[in-house]
Amino acid sequence: MTFELTILGSSSAIPTSEKYPTAQVLNVLERFFLIDCGEGTQIQLRKQKIGFGKIKHIFISHLHGDHFYGLIGLISTFNLLGLKNNIHIYSPSQLKDVIQPQLDFLKGDMQFDVIFHPLNFKKAERIYEDKKVEVFSFPVKHSINCSGFLFREKQREANINKESIARYQIPIEQIKNIKKGADFVTASGDTIPNSELTTPPPHPRSYAFSADTAFHPPIAEIIKGVDLLYHEATFTEELRDWADKTYHSTAKDAAKMAQMAEVGKLIIGHFSSRYDNDEPFANEARSIFPNTEIAVEGNKYSVSQKQRHH
């Protein structure tokens, strides 16, 4: 059961010859969520062999160009390919004003609608859900309105043991309640506890994308205990003044957030083009939070299922 993040872009404001601006794809149970859409995102999707037709939900954290300038090109390609799935974009409300004129220009043969869902920058709220997944937005601290995103599997029901069904002759109509936690009373009046009838479902997996932000402690409570956290680390501590001035984080800030939120693994990215290599970021973060990895374009980060025990 897939839960996998693919990095498409890991640079900050200015792309380099080796790095594209921010973009990621999260595959949760074959639901493909595009997170930010910097310039060149569609090229990176091609390189990673992620089918365009799988992208139906796009999350744009804020309206700095390196996080959304790839959007109109991607939508144009969807149009040229004759795709028919509606595209849902979760973004600051102003994005519609920015790209609607371009969409109108394309409109001629478009066989799908682009549906905008404005984000709330005052509090965390659920912005998407289906039977198996839910997505929340949450405000971060940047120079303009900016949102992070939390993706979480919904809790599954317990699995009933086939042996128990036969042994206790459990009627089909009672299986649903037992999966939800009910005990079973036999014909002779004996109560069989739920723990003897079922095996617990896997622990729900989760991923948090903390977009461009200064160090902001309230984020920790919202993302508490996530399996995987992406947190920007535009600078190292030697450029702390720049980080404070531009409302960005250092690698140390990202590691402190991972530590506070008790996350499973930290991925850092959005590196300033001032740096020639990524080692200073890795060293700084790992000194505080050892389970840190550098966001490398094309890398995939999977979260495996963890079985619970009664």
Task: Write down the pLDDT at residue 166.
Answer: 75
Alpha carbon distance 236, 250 (integer Å): 5
Write out the two tokens for 234.
């535009």
Write out the H or E segment, with its range, that includes residue 4: strand 3-9
Q: How many CB atoms lie within 10 A of CB 167?
A: 13
Mean pLDDT, rounded, for 166-190: 77
**How many angstroms separate the most distant Cα atoms in the chain?**
76
Q: How far apart, in whole angstroms, are the C-alpha atoms of residue 76 and residue 66?
A: 18
pLDDT tens digits along 25-52: 999 999 999 999 999 999 999 999 999 9
**Residue numbers annotated as active site:** 66
| Per-residue pLDDT reduced to its tens digit, 51-78 | 999 999 999 999 999 999 999 999 999 9
Strand partners, 133: 153
State residue 107's pLDDT score: 63
Question: In 10 A of CB 76, how many CB atoms?
Answer: 16
Q: Please, are residues 137 and 129 in contact by the beta-carbon 8 Å criterion?
A: no
Of residues 281, 292, 300, 205, the one with CA closest to residue 243? 281
- CB distance 75 to 106 below 8 Å: yes
| pLDDT per position as a tens digit, 192-251 | 777 777 777 788 999 999 989 999 999 999 999 999 999 999 999 999 999 999 999 999
* pTM score: 0.89
Q: What is the DSSP letter of 249?
A: -
The model's confidence at residue 108, banded by pLDDT at 50, 70 and 90, is low
User: For 110-132, what is each residue's pLDDT tens digit?
Assistant: 899 999 999 999 999 999 999 99
Alpha-carbon distance of 136 to 176, in angstroms, equals 29
Domains and CATH numbers, the chain: 3-156+201-302 (3.60.15.10), 159-198 (no CATH)
pLDDT bracket for residue 307 (50, 70, 90): low
> Rg for the chain (alpha carbons), in Å?
22
Enumerate residues 6+ apart whose C-beta is below 8 A from 270.
Answer: 10, 11, 12, 22, 212, 232, 233, 234, 248, 295
Residues in the chain: 310
pLDDT value of residue 276 = 86
* 71 neighbors 101 (Cβ within 8 angstroms): no
183 C-beta neighbours (distance < 10 Å), count = 13
Res. 93 pLDDT band, cuts 50 70 90:
very high
Would you list the DSSP string of 187-233?
TTS-EE-HHHHEEPPBPPPEEEEE-S----THHHHHTTT-SEEEEE-
CB atoms within 10 A of CB 225: 11
Instruction: State the CB neighbour count (10 A cutoff) for residue 56.
Output: 15
